[in-house]
Amino acid sequence: MTAAPSSKSQHRQITGKLVIATHNPGKLAEMRELLAPHGVEVISAGELGLAEPEETGETFEANARLKAIAAANTAQLPAFADDSGIVVDALGGAPGIFSARWAGPAKDFSAAMAQIERLLQERGATTADQRKAHFVSALCVAWPDGHLEEVEARSDGTLVWPPRGTAGFGYDPMFIPDGFDRTFGEMTSVEKHGLPPLGLGLSHRARAFVLLAEICLD
């Protein structure tokens, strides 16, 4: 996990209303849950009718920044954006920043997971050590005056087939985090991204949020 130096005096605190710059219902639910204990008033980009900017960045960090800045400038409020995806070692890092696009306009992640599995089989990646992957989450908070706070974290694990579990979203049902025997799709939301003492903060987004909270939240 990486972040800027942790001294709060060097950073800006999140206060008042915050726009969550996502149209993904799964991400929105997770972000609301993570922010709830901090008493931050949140409103989604969808509720404000904000358009989704084209993700033209070449990194997770660049795309999170792009989305947060666009929402902050349009809403004239601080905006919080995430860009995340799954990075598969045997596929040279794919789908990476294109994780959502692999699911197509219909957001069909069952098809996207099947595509990953087909490519892994084509490469003979059948053992656990050949099926290593990690989720990445880059978070950015942007203010209308141009100030940015950015962090990034990851969760390492192994891909399984067939997918297991119906919880979570995206590629969760085929990803087992290191040290566990269940997929993210088989875990409750508290187990996956709940923070201690209730949860383990296993997900990439939860880990990134911990870093953000250290510098931007009380």
Residue-wise pLDDT for 23-71, tens only, equals 888 888 888 888 888 888 899 998 999 988 988 999 999 999 999 999 9
Please say whether the beta carbons of 151 and 136 come within 8 A.
no
Residue 134 makes CB contacts below 8 A (sequence gap 6+) with 86, 87, 154, 155, 156, 157, 204
Q: What is the pTM of this model?
A: 0.89
Asked whether the predicted pLDDT for residue 1 surpasses 80, the reply is no
Domains, the chain, ranges and CATH? 2-216 (3.90.950.10)
Q: Catalytic amino acids?
A: 83
Q: Does the pLDDT of residue 170 top 60, yes or no?
A: yes
